[in-house]
Chain A
Amino acid sequence: MSSRRVTLAIFLLLDALLLGLLYGLGTLNLLDAILLGSIPNDMIWLLQVAQSLSCGFAIVKILLDTKPGDTPAVNLLRSAAIISSPALLFALVLFTIEMLLKGQGETASITFDLTNLGTSTLMWAATYLSIAIGLTLTYKVQRYGNFAQSELFMVGMYFGMILGWSEYYFVLKEAPMDGVIAWTLLLRSLLLAFVITGLLGVLIDRIVYRGFRLRDSSPQVMMIASLGVALILRSIYFMRFSSAKVRFIPDSDFTATANRWELPTSRIKLNLGERSLAEGGTYTYQTCEQTGIDETSGEPIMERIVSEGNRPTVEIYDIGIDCISPLTSNLSYANGSLPVVVFISVAMLVLLLNKTRLGMRMRAVADNPELAASSGINVERVQQTSAFLSAGITGVGGAIFSVTLLFNPTTGFALLLPAFAVIVLGTIGSVSGAIIASLMVGFVRASSTPILTGVGFPLDRSGYSALSGVMPYIFLVAILIVLPKGLGDAIERWNIEKERNRNKEARSLIDKRIVAALALLPTGILGLHHWARGRSDKAQNFSIIALGSYVAHKVMRFIGKNSFADGACSDSCIEAEGRSSNIELITSNPDASLSTKDSPYFDVDASDLDQKWFELMELEIQTVNALSDISDWLWPWVPLALWLFAIRQGLQILRNGRTNENEDRADFISAQLLRVRNSINSSLKGPFSKASTSISEANKAHSALITKVEVGVSGLLLNWRSMIAHKSQKAISLFSDERLDRIRDPYGREGRKGSWIAFAALATIILYLIWWLPVNSSPEEFWWDKIFQVSNVTIGMCVFILMAFSLNLHTGYTGMVNFGIIFFVGVGAITVSVLSSPERYHGYGWGVVPATIFAVLLTAVIGWALAFPTARLRTDYFAIVTISLGEVVRMLLSAEPLLRTGPVKSAIGIGSYPLPLKEWWFCGRGVKTGLEQEFLSPDYCKWASPALDSPANSISDLLSLGEPAPYSLLLATMSVFFVITIWWILERVLTSPWGRIVKAIREDEEVAQHHGHDVLKHKAASLALGAGICGLAGAIWAWQLTGLSPTFMSPAGSTFLVWAAFIIGGSANNRGMVIGASIIVLTGFVFNVLAVASTPDLPLYETANTIDKTFKWIVTDQWEITGIFLIVMFGGIITRRSRLVEYGFWGSIVFCFTAIFMEGYRSLMAASDYTGEVTISGGGMSYVRLMLVGTLMLVSLILNPKGLLPEVPSRPERPSEDTV
């Protein structure tokens, strides 16, 4: 079985590599020949590259799948192949490129700078890890995939900026470069980012997720809720800080060229592809050779010799052009700090999880919440601690990341998917797996940049260097298919195996004298004696303390040296003549003292700024001095103490053969801590107990009062209600009971009739709203403008309704969580537009109808094929795969020349494609347009004089519009037709036996399988049908947009909105999809109107103005808002509404914080437009809309989880006797 698969994979690999890429004789080339060469050459080799790489992954998968053989030799070979598979795959990538280039007769040089590769691997790994570790914790303890994790990263990113903008710190941040780094701002922002982001995590957890936990909601619901949270957070940041890219520079000296490490490196240059040169061509490369001997010193003289000839495959350089100085690669202190901070904080988290009681509790809750609760753990508190830690650590990562790169509020989202790749590769929930996986994904990202840059140019794809960002996604998809359980699972199994083996063999006891020697020698510092005694946990404690103190010492030493600490002298200080310390370096005061005079703002007299600067510098000096002191204590005193301890244990071992376990270090410390705590407790007990009794008495009195009031109020309400009931009874009695019964549905909205009635009511409101949408128009053109607007709203709605239908089919009916709606839509839109573009615009000149049919079929086939590798994945994995695919297509749209049409091939995007029936609409029947025709394009017909006999003109005459009816009217009519047709088809399909089968699959796949249904086949069919619908939606969207640019595929503008429509409308009810999608599209149009409403004569000006004013008020008067929240809180306390207390409490905390830090001039500048005015009018309105959509989604999930129109289960009646 497997050998056949291996053979097939190897055959396909060779087919792609040797036959296809090298000689152009592969299967795909043959297919092209059968199709008479209609496939473009570029597409063939692109597909062949994909074929080759996927065969590589397939072989690895087969290796992993096959059960271990019997003979040890086979087993060994298999394990060797698995372990070396990353290296083999990397080699396969290079070899494929080599074959491709050889076949094309091109050459590419790829230059790897080894040190740079290493440092950027570490940097990317750290970046991804800081999000991934938060995701892991959330997955482990709270059990859902948190799509808002990247937004917590964003909060961290902006944290440094916020501190730097504040009135207190800006003096330091904006001080000009002086040659010495000030660390205060960086250290504070890291520390505070941890606390504040952590608190934000707790806040979100309490307000949003706790409710879901209490209701036992499924992880999918929480994942979707996190999407809503992400939308809200991101739009708030967009509103407040705009989309401008910023970078947090804690002190301008971080950007100084002197402040970096120069690391030795080697460069490896690979020349791939055609290496032999044409007749007369030369290739020059350089080597160092000895040219003579220096007569004075007797040392050999080395010189660069230029050699000519064919290109070598590999060139290695490690010495500079002068043959003396080694090549270096620079790493700025700012960039270097990223991995240091992230890996240290992750290490601390690991310690916390593995070595403390809190960590133990967290792991217990992760394993089994019920069991943990029954064994006395406060599960809710552990959940909150976990929320705090996972948010906090991501916040720290964001804060340090903000020092390295320019960012804006979407930067975090781009990092989320690779972070998901990390946790999937490392097995969801495994911390150690995530750390290893982050390094691998970081390496993929770092190494793909030089490869893509090197290869892109010779293949006319210079835009490919931008694709390095999507390599982790592609890697993710491959990993999910090859190794769905991830590395962590393998590590776990290996550990279990190890444990088992250890238990099998009784451990041979090592002579106690050797153990004692290990303790007495310096090896005792690392705890090797414990290790020899088989107590590896204790050995770990020793080594961790020793290594940790060494690392901390090093880091603090480094900070101390490059700072204003007493006596610190950095490299540039050492180089400078006659300077003995950093302070002296900038102030020239030989006694190394600082005064307000040394302030960079100093100008004749000491001003306010100088005073502020001086205070901050004093703080800075205290901080770094403290760090230096701690560093001196950590090393060598901590290891020495450890050694002393080990020696004591060694002596005990010599004496008794064992250590005195009770006097263990950790136990001793914890006992001391407990004693301190007890004494504090007992001293506080007296006054506290008194206070608490009085409080509880007050409490009792209060609650008695509340009860009284409530009884009174409810009595009043009751009276009132009965009065209303009485009156309404009278009104109702006007209708006879029979009539009412005919209208009433016993199942309410969950019955067929009730659902239709609710739909009709909602649809009426929506139709009214469409009509109500204001137009900015003159009276003469009003009708044309109105028709144009209504048509556009209709088209938008139809596109979203179709997408929602598809999502509903996949997620609502079949139970596959699809986050990649835009993937199918994008493929459909791109296929239609590229195929139908005329050939002179680099398209393929297909007719619109065949192109559309082909696009729908293609997306359906892709959907069908996607089922096979992904059907066995967990639902959240499926979500991650689909969203990644969408992003890959979006990035390809901006980088791949095959996906470009229009007059200029180099311009990104697809344009100049024909629209269906546009010719007929404007030119009438029988008139052709084109290069040789009377009219170049339908747009020329439109204004032809005399007017042509066309539908556009007839409708215009009929309604006296004054100018030809807009094309969008036709498109709207067509889309409504499509929507109604698809809706009808879906209703048929879903009420048929197939509909109930997929619903059974949604409810319980395994049981459906045991009742005779091939789950895979039905899932594939569902995916294909939904994907086909998406393909059609994509085609309509392409026609509406008339030009495709990559932005139309951004998930926030498509997939997430469709999800919102799905949640609001009601899962598994297509009527709900129509309503949900219409609401979402309508909000978009309303906010479009709001965005342009800048003068009083435009519609909705007042509303826009109110929103703008509210925003201004929120931004500028935060103490007032804090006050309001405090009032809410006290209101809650008085009326005993714990929800109100909570909202008030957290709201006041948030705004109190923002009031302290964000009311300064600089912070307000960041919130303003370019003129300095704080405003949200214009483009900012789209973020208000996103926030609204996110809020709607969350509110709907919390208050109305079934949606506006819930699912209507089918209730067929018993067939009457005479029909059977």
Chain B
Amino acid sequence: MIDPFLKVKHLRKEFGGLIAVNGVSFEIGPGEFVGLIGPNGCGKSTTFNCISGLLDKTAGSVELFGTDITTMRPEQIQKIGMTRTFQHTRLWRQMTVIENLLVPPRNQLGSSIKEKIRGIFQYDSTRDEETRLDRAYSVLDQLEVPHMAHNLTSELSGGQSKLVDIGRSMMGEPRLLLLDEPVAGVAGPLAMKIFNSLRKMVDDTGISILIIEHNMDFILRQGVDRIIVMNEGRIMMQGTPDEVKGNRAVIEAYLGSSGEKGAEEE
């Protein structure tokens, strides 16, 4: 049995008197494409924030690639191999697209002092910078926005921003990617394309992706391996899209209200 990439155990988060996440446990295996769904305010984003180290946890533990990351800070967690995006796309707006992509690569400054000085003063005479640039451009090629490389990200459209955000996350070479509603506000065909390329990424490179999606109808059709359904701070059920579709409780508690809303959005 292969160890799971991410192991969340009895995660609990309280804000004052409000219990946002109430004892959530799940695992993400290697090369898995998992969807996390649930109605508004059910604690999806809070779960993300707790896993990525943005919020302190009230109780429970998180393990990433066998390392306990419960009390780690976000930058330490990223170094272990997990990157996340935010629900509202937060690009560095007064920087160009290519600059945005060049920030996340690991170990850019070197680890020893000698390497650091070299990394700062002779960065462009080394191979590393060229490799990074090449990789950044090839990511832009994949996302089909290489023509925007020299634009400020504040000049991008909403859909392009989402793409660049995903591309930027890839630059940190994560083995586990946490995406918070990556296709919210993106037109149908493009959203489909994003999902397809994510699927391809999972299949080709063997990374795992955990994706929050608000629109249930949509995610059921997009070929994720497994879906975790949250409601009121708890996990309601986990299973393949077909199992979720067949679960009456989920459909009653969730699809009934939010399904209609999703239809409206489309």
Q: Does residue B96 face the partner (Cβ distance < 8 Å to A)?
A: yes
Q: Does residue A554 face the partner (Cβ distance < 8 Å to B)?
A: no
Contact A1014 B75 (CB under 8 A): yes
CA distance A38 to B152 in the complex (A): 55
Chain B residues lying within 8 Å of A988, measured Cβ to Cβ, are 120-121
Q: Does residue B200 face the partner (Cβ distance < 8 Å to A)?
A: no
Which B residue sits closest to A1011, measured CB to CB? Answer: B104
From B74, B130, B149, B169, name the one whose CB has the most chain A CB atoms within 10 angstroms. B74
Chain A residues lying within 8 Å of B74, measured Cβ to Cβ, are 1006, 1009-1010
Contact B95 A1000 (CB under 8 A): yes
Contact B104 A1214 (CB under 8 A): no
Which A residue sits closest to B140, measured CB to CB? Answer: A1214
Q: Does residue B79 face the partner (Cβ distance < 8 Å to A)?
A: yes
Number of interface residues of A (CB under 8 A): 33
CA distance A997 to B149 in the complex (A): 18
Q: How far is the CB of A648 from chain B (nearest CB, A)?
A: 42
Contact B93 A1003 (CB under 8 A): yes
User: Which of these, B94, B108, B133, B169, contacts A1209 with CB under 8 Å?
Assistant: B94
Q: Does residue B109 face the partner (Cβ distance < 8 Å to A)?
A: yes
Q: Which residues of B (130-176) have their CB < 8 Å from a CB of A?
A: 130-131, 133-134, 137, 146, 149-150, 152, 168-169, 172
Chain A residues lying within 8 Å of B106, measured Cβ to Cβ, are 1012
User: Which of these, A997, A1004, A1211, A1214, contacts B90 with CB under 8 Å?
Assistant: A1004
Q: Does residue A1013 face the partner (Cβ distance < 8 Å to B)?
A: yes
Number of interface residues of B (CB under 8 A): 45
Q: Does residue A500 face the partner (Cβ distance < 8 Å to B)?
A: yes
Which A residue sits closest to B86, measured CB to CB? Answer: A1007
Q: Which residues of B (85-129) have their CB < 8 Å from a CB of A?
A: 86, 90-96, 98-100, 102-104, 106, 108-109, 119-121, 123-124, 129
Chain A residues lying within 8 Å of B99, measured Cβ to Cβ, are 996, 999, 1209-1210
Contact A994 B103 (CB under 8 A): no
Contact B95 A1211 (CB under 8 A): no
Chain B residues lying within 8 Å of A1011, measured Cβ to Cβ, are 75, 78, 83, 103-104, 168-169, 172
Chain B residues lying within 8 Å of A1004, measured Cβ to Cβ, are 90, 92
A1209 touching B120 in the complex, CB below 8 Å, given contacts A1011-B83, A1011-B104, A1013-B103: no
Which B residue sits closest to A496, measured CB to CB? Answer: B16
The secondary-structure label for the interface of chain A is helix
Chain A residues lying within 8 Å of B124, measured Cβ to Cβ, are 991
Q: Does residue B52 face the partner (Cβ distance < 8 Å to A)?
A: yes
Chain A residues lying within 8 Å of B130, measured Cβ to Cβ, are 1215, 1219-1220
Chain B residues lying within 8 Å of A1211, measured Cβ to Cβ, are 96, 98, 149-150
A993 touching B129 in the complex, CB below 8 Å, given contacts A1000-B92, A1010-B84, A1011-B83: yes
CA distance A1015 to B103 in the complex (A): 13
Q: How far is the CB of B45 from chain A (nearest CB, A)?
A: 14
CA distance A988 to B121 in the complex (A): 6
CA distance A107 to B195 in the complex (A): 79
Q: Does residue A687 face the partner (Cβ distance < 8 Å to B)?
A: no
Q: How far is the CB of B118 from chain A (nearest CB, A)?
A: 10
CA distance A627 to B98 in the complex (A): 73
Chain A residues lying within 8 Å of B90, measured Cβ to Cβ, are 1004, 1006-1007
Q: How far is the CB of A213 from chain B (nearest CB, A)?
A: 20
User: Which of these, A989, A996, A1002, A1220, contacts B102 with CB under 8 Å?
Assistant: A996
Chain A residues lying within 8 Å of B94, measured Cβ to Cβ, are 999, 1002-1003, 1207, 1209
User: Which of these, A999, A1002, A1012, contacts B104 with CB under 8 Å?
Assistant: A1012
Q: Does residue A302 face the partner (Cβ distance < 8 Å to B)?
A: no
CA distance A1097 to B11 in the complex (A): 84
Q: Does residue B17 face the partner (Cβ distance < 8 Å to A)?
A: yes
A1214 touching B134 in the complex, CB below 8 Å, given contacts A1007-B86, A1007-B92, A1011-B104: yes
Q: Does residue A656 face the partner (Cβ distance < 8 Å to B)?
A: no
Contact A1212 B98 (CB under 8 A): yes
CA distance A1004 to B165 in the complex (A): 13
User: Which of these, B54, B119, B131, contacts A1006 with CB under 8 Å?
Assistant: B54
Q: How far is the CB of B262 from chain A (nearest CB, A)?
A: 26
CA distance A134 to B15 in the complex (A): 33
Chain B residues lying within 8 Å of A1219, measured Cβ to Cβ, are 130
From B83, B86, B103, B106, name the one whose CB has the most chain A CB atoms within 10 angstroms. B103
Chain B residues lying within 8 Å of A992, measured Cβ to Cβ, are 119-121, 123
Q: Does residue B73 face the partner (Cβ distance < 8 Å to A)?
A: yes
Contact A1220 B96 (CB under 8 A): no
Contact A1000 B109 (CB under 8 A): no
User: Which of these, B96, B119, B149, contacts A993 with CB under 8 Å?
Assistant: B119
Q: Does residue A1008 face the partner (Cβ distance < 8 Å to B)?
A: yes
Q: Which residues of B (50-82) have their CB < 8 Å from a CB of A?
A: 52, 54, 73-75, 78-79
CA distance A989 to B122 in the complex (A): 10
Which A residue sits closest to B100, measured CB to CB? Answer: A1000
CA distance A487 to B206 in the complex (A): 52
CA distance A135 to B81 in the complex (A): 46
Chain A residues lying within 8 Å of B134, measured Cβ to Cβ, are 1214-1215, 1220
A1215 touching B133 in the complex, CB below 8 Å, given contacts A1006-B54, A1011-B104, A1210-B99: yes
Q: Which residues of A (1196-1220) have their CB < 8 Å from a CB of B?
A: 1207, 1209-1212, 1214-1215, 1219-1220
Which A residue sits closest to B52, measured CB to CB? Answer: A1010
Contact B129 A1013 (CB under 8 A): no
Q: Which residues of A (973-1026) have their CB < 8 Å from a CB of B?
A: 988-989, 991-994, 996-997, 999-1000, 1002-1004, 1006-1015
From A500, A991, A1011, A1215, name the one whose CB has the most chain B CB atoms within 10 angstroms. A1011
Contact B123 A1012 (CB under 8 A): no
CA distance A157 to B134 in the complex (A): 64
Contact A1012 B84 (CB under 8 A): no
CA distance A988 to B152 in the complex (A): 22
Chain B residues lying within 8 Å of A1010, measured Cβ to Cβ, are 52, 54, 74-75, 78, 83-84, 86
Which A residue sits closest to B102, measured CB to CB? Answer: A996
Chain A residues lying within 8 Å of B95, measured Cβ to Cβ, are 996, 999-1000, 1003, 1209
Contact A1009 B119 (CB under 8 A): no
From B83, B104, B152, name the one whose CB has the most chain A CB atoms within 10 angstroms. B104
CA distance A1008 to B74 in the complex (A): 9
Chain A residues lying within 8 Å of B103, measured Cβ to Cβ, are 996-997, 1000, 1008, 1011, 1013
Chain B residues lying within 8 Å of A1209, measured Cβ to Cβ, are 94-96, 99, 152
Q: How far is the CB of B24 from chain A (nearest CB, A)?
A: 20
Contact A1013 B120 (CB under 8 A): no
Q: Which residues of B (15-70) have their CB < 8 Å from a CB of A?
A: 17, 52, 54
Contact B86 A1212 (CB under 8 A): no
Chain B residues lying within 8 Å of A1212, measured Cβ to Cβ, are 98, 102, 133
CA distance A989 to B119 in the complex (A): 9
Chain A residues lying within 8 Å of B172, measured Cβ to Cβ, are 1011-1012
CA distance A1015 to B17 in the complex (A): 31
What 1/0 flags go to A868-901 for Cβ under 8 Å of B? 0000000000000000000000000000000000
The 7 A-B residue pairs with the shortest CB-CB distance, nearest first, are A1003-B92, A1012-B78, A993-B108, A1011-B104, A1211-B150, A992-B120, A1214-B137
Residues of B within 8 A of A (CB): 17, 52, 54, 73-75, 78-79, 83-84, 86, 90-96, 98-100, 102-104, 106, 108-109, 119-121, 123-124, 129-131, 133-134, 137, 146, 149-150, 152, 168-169, 172
For this complex, 28 residue pairs linking A to B, each with C-beta atoms less than 8 Å apart, are: A992-B123, A994-B108, A996-B95, A996-B102, A997-B108, A999-B99, A1000-B95, A1000-B100, A1003-B92, A1004-B92, A1007-B86, A1008-B92, A1009-B74, A1010-B78, A1011-B78, A1011-B169, A1012-B78, A1012-B83, A1012-B106, A1012-B172, A1014-B75, A1209-B94, A1209-B96, A1210-B98, A1212-B98, A1214-B134, A1214-B149, A1215-B137
List 6 extra interface pairs beyond A1012-B78, A1012-B79, A1211-B149, CB under 8 A.
Answer: A993-B119, A1003-B95, A1209-B96, A1209-B152, A1212-B98, A1215-B134
Residues of A within 8 A of B (CB): 500, 988-989, 991-994, 996-997, 999-1000, 1002-1004, 1006-1015, 1207, 1209-1212, 1214-1215, 1219-1220
